[in-house]
Chains A and B, each alone.
Chain A
Amino acid sequence: MPAPFSRRAFLSGVGGVSLLAAGMALSACSSSSTTPSASGLAKVNFQLGWLANVENMGLFMADHAGYFRDERLDVTLTPGGPSVVVEPLLVSGKAMVGLDSVDTIAKARNEGAALKIVAATMQTNPTAIMSLASAPVRTLKDLVGKRLGVQQSGVEIVNTVFKANGIDPAGVTIVPMQFDPAPLVAGDCDAFMSLLVNQPIQLDLEGVKTTTFTLAEYGYNVWADVLLVSEQTLADKDKRELIVKIVRASVRGWQDALSDTDAAAKIVVEKYGKSLNLDLKAQQKTAAAFQSVIEAGDAKTNGLLTMSAKGIADNIATLNSLGIKATAEELFDTSVLGDVYAGKTRL
């Protein structure tokens, strides 16, 4: 923490217009995310999508076990949050690697963000429709005539899934929600769009029983928490080598984490999420659930974070059905994973 009234702090207090002056001073020192540090390690900023919890345990394990350091990397795992902006940070070079979902990245690409996906953490999409066990909503059709709580980013997705399954979206009342499942419990909606691996477990631990089904069952097959980098980074030979190292260390971290999710959750709770005082039991249960979507499908045979040809084809098909233009060659780069695994399926 720098002194409160340093020059940096001064510049940061200024409103929009004066940011210009700040920029002239700062652009010189903040332009690169890969400056080598004094210790000879390459500094890398890895932008996460959410808070420091077990969702990112594989990366934390890679840090904890020293896998990043083995690759001569000094990686900062920057937590995200509800308002995180991943793509602009990647495009501007302030982060070298980031996590987001395939459809978000594809949309950003179509708006001119030169980004590529190099690895995929969650092989099964965890997006789920959750309802109270006391008033269960078991299928997509059951939603007709009900109120569905959805985050703004999910509205287009859920509407397209409805159409693809022959349901008129107008028959379902969309209620705007955020990440807080309280409105479902309080009866402000009948169903809530959540992550299968996360909120049902949290609610269960708080004594609320839920019923869930996933949107993947209804054709929404895009990977989640994929690793994205900018095309510029991939085009630069040295930087691409860094990406290979980052992905390799991440795979090793995930292998460790999934081989003992309880231990990984403990490390996340005690070390990386220390300032949040996370509930160990909840994190361990969640970690076990994450295993079921990460060590799934082709990842079981090809290795973790894999992007198989069939998986890519499924992703593209889902994107196209959502009305998002995308091609496999443009959106995905499988060569990094190829270099990482070098013919093996486990590191």
Chain B
Amino acid sequence: MATRRGLIAARSGVRSPVAVALGVAGLLLIWEILAQIFADLRVVPQPWAVLQAMWDDRNIYSGNISTTLSEAAIGFFWGNVLAVALAGVFVQVPAVERLLLRIAVASYCVPLVAIAPILVVVLPGNAPKEALAGLSVFFTTLTAAVLGLRSADRSALDLIHSLGGGSFFILRKLRLLSALPSLFAGLKIAAPAALLGAIIGEYLGSSSGLGVMLVQAQSSFQVARTWAVALVISALAGLGYALVAIIARWLTPWAGRDVSVGVGAAASAVAGDGRARSLLVGTVGLVGSILLIVVGWYAIIWGFSLDSYFAKTPADVATYLFAGEDAAEHRQRLLAALGITLLDAGVGYVVGLIAASLAAAVLVAFRRVEQIVLPLAIVLRSIPLLALTPLLALVFGRGLLGVTIVVAVITFFATLVTVSQGLRAAPVLACEVITSLGGGQLTVTRKVRLLYALPSLFASARIAIPGAIAGATLAEWLASGKGLGSLLVSDYTASRFAGLWSGSVVIVVVSVALYGLVTALERPVVARYAPQQVE
């Protein structure tokens, strides 16, 4: 056993300084070549110019970094604490999940332009930025934690049950332990996301912070400085990711080299649940969620006595969509835009999913690749798209391709991290059976790991599909000028808040519906191909 572990450790790639140096040199070379190619367009600065810009700003970085990091850290902490606590409640009391899950999805995909005015009016000081950081991690961590808590090996669960262990005992002894790898995968996604959330929050107005530096540099066409700030942001995001990864490795040394054989343990537990009954439960949950949202919505508006000019009620939205004299026209306008957005999101999601799954498979088979792919993915995920889009739009255009790239950038990272965690969750013994029979790493991935990754693939879809819609609206605003994203921002700039809120409701409803669809598909598929993980 010991030798086997040693082997695995060696294969997983202890970074040699030479390899790292070569990698950095290679990147610099590519960068320099790109800078030469794009010299006339002035979109890619020389590496040395970026270093110079960093040096010139050396006195102001510490202050701006501490502003942004403290916003991100506060959001990261509370967003994750609440997400994990709620995940625990969801697993213990499924009824709560039925009521609150849709609201959690809504918190993830509600357009920023709709909630930003509410946040700045309702929360004091820096709290809106911290809240945006918290909102950016809450749902992804919730999903990861629920997946983790549910991933406890079925046979082990049955064993504890048969020995008389109750559900809380199981939660403590088994679920929490088996939840850790998935939870840490979620926290890895959350680290860059919290930073991005804080920076986007700073776009609302702030006296210091990396987001302010970025806006200042961009609006002044200081390209080298823009890149310098973006690189610092990425480095911080990477550090956050690495910190979580180190803690994860320290706390869950078994993750990724699980020697248990869980395959084929138990059949689906939902079999006993009658179809009619589950339909009834589902309907009650749906109605309950809608009621909760409507009541909460009114309560916020009345509780804070928000002005009706920017805070629209459910009744205002209903009037806008169904009762007002222009309602039919409003609906038509929104539906037409929705069609474009769904196409944008769909294509972007599929491309992002395929790219991320392939990258994850390669990553797991050849660990060395991770050192190249992951930093790039982190860079893409941590720089605000507001800063990145001009470059992306220039390279890929402002049509479907450009929009697809933006959406894929948003969905890629979460899918990559979640799926590679799932691929690694395959038991070592099963993998080694293949290797001992002469199969290569790719065969192992194909025959064993993919099966184990199925639940995480679905978990990633739950995050990535609402993410794709959010990404599509962002790309439409920043690049294409079509679809719901563009419509919402144009309503916003003209203070047409009824249109803005109605559009936001449409986005949330569609995202929640798609989320429900993924969940509905998940059970039968996972039960068929990865039954050990179905409860």
- The chain A residues found within 8 Å of chain B, CB to CB, are 1, 4-5, 8-17, 19-20, 22-24, 26-27, 29-30, 47-48, 51-53, 78-85, 87-89, 91-92, 94, 104, 107-108, 110-114, 152-153, 155-156, 174-183, 185-188, 198-199, 202-203, 206, 208, 274-279, 282
Contact = CB atoms under 8 A, between A and B. Distances in A.
A145 to B, nearest CB: 18
B490 A23 contact: no
A88 B78 contact: no
A83 B202 CA distance: 9
B495 A174 contact: no
A16 B73 contact: no
Contacts of A81: 202-206, 211-212, 215
Given A14-B78, A87-B495, A183 B393 contact: yes
Contact of A52 (B207, B292, B310): B207
Given A182-B218, A206-B221, A275 B207 contact: yes
Nearest to B83: A15
A88 B389 CA distance: 28
B184 interface: no
A206 B128 CA distance: 35
B390 A180 contact: yes
A182 B43 CA distance: 7
Interface residues of B, number: 99
A180 to B, nearest CB: 4
Contacts of B250: none
A84 B19 CA distance: 45
Nearest to A175: B398
B296 interface: yes
Given A81-B202, A81-B204, A82-B215, A111 B78 contact: no
A107 B495 contact: yes
B213 interface: yes
B386 interface: yes
B165 interface: no
A91 B310 CA distance: 9
Given A12-B134, A274-B60, A275-B212, A113 B310 contact: yes
Given A26-B122, A82-B386, A176-B480, 15 more contacts: A4-B73, A12-B74, A13-B79, A14-B134, A15-B134, A17-B296, A26-B123, A83-B204, A107-B495, A110-B495, A111-B309, A112-B309, A152-B486, A177-B390, A274-B60
B117 A85 contact: yes
B116 interface: yes
A23 B303 contact: yes
A202 B205 CA distance: 21
Contact of B306 (A92, A110, A279): A92
A185 B41 contact: yes
Contact of A108 (B116, B306, B309): B309
A15 to B, nearest CB: 4
Nearest to A17: B296
A202 B119 CA distance: 33
A186 B82 contact: no
Nearest to B489: A152
Nearest to B397: A188
A156 B386 CA distance: 21
Given A14-B78, A111-B309, A206-B222, A276 B212 contact: yes
A75 to B, nearest CB: 14
A275 B57 CA distance: 9
B44 to A, nearest CB: 10
Interface stretch (B100-108, B335-343, B353-361): B100-108
B481 A176 contact: yes
A202 B73 CA distance: 34
B116 A13 contact: no
Given A9-B78, A183-B394, A23 B218 contact: no
A275 B212 CA distance: 9
Given A182-B390, A199-B221, A202-B221, A88 B310 contact: yes
Given A176-B480, A275-B60, A22 B219 contact: no
A187 B397 CA distance: 12
B493 A111 contact: no
Contacts of A155: 490
The secondary-structure label for the interface of chain B is: helix
Contacts of B213: 276
B295 to A, nearest CB: 10
B104 A15 contact: yes
Interface in B289-321: 292-293, 296, 299-300, 303-310
A8 B495 contact: no
A27 B393 contact: no
A285 to B, nearest CB: 12
A88 B120 contact: yes
19 contacts: A4-B74, A5-B77, A13-B131, A15-B107, A23-B304, A26-B124, A30-B124, A112-B309, A152-B493, A174-B481, A179-B215, A182-B218, A182-B390, A199-B221, A202-B222, A274-B60, A275-B60, A275-B212, A276-B216
B348 interface: no
Given A12-B131, A188-B393, A85 B124 contact: no
A291 B117 CA distance: 32
B253 interface: no
Contact of A20 (B43, B126, B296, B478): B296
B31 to A, nearest CB: 17
A308 B127 CA distance: 41
A153 B310 contact: no
B248 interface: no
Contacts of A27: 303-305
B414 to A, nearest CB: 18
A185 to B, nearest CB: 5
B458 interface: no
Nearest to A49: B205
A39 to B, nearest CB: 20
Contacts of A87: 309-310, 495
B144 interface: no
B494 interface: yes
Nearest to B492: A152
Contacts of A4: 70, 73-74, 77
Contacts of A91: 307, 309-310
Contact of A9 (B118, B130, B222, B489): B130
Contacts of A277: 56-57, 59-60
Contact of A24 (B115, B215, B303): B303
Contacts of B299: 20
A306 B208 CA distance: 32
Given A52-B207, A203-B221, A15 B310 contact: no
B415 to A, nearest CB: 23
Contacts of A182: 42-43, 218, 221, 223, 390-391
B264 interface: no
Contacts of B203: 81-83
A176 B127 CA distance: 31
A16 B106 contact: yes
Interface in B45-69: 56-57, 59-60, 63-64
A16 B222 CA distance: 37
Contacts of A278: 216
A26 B119 CA distance: 12
The 5 closest A-B pairs by CB, nearest first: A13-B78, A12-B127, A153-B493, A112-B309, A13-B134
A47 B205 CA distance: 9
B477 interface: yes
Contacts of A17: 103, 107, 292-293, 296
Nearest to A176: B481
Nearest to A8: B127
A13 B221 contact: no
A53 to B, nearest CB: 8
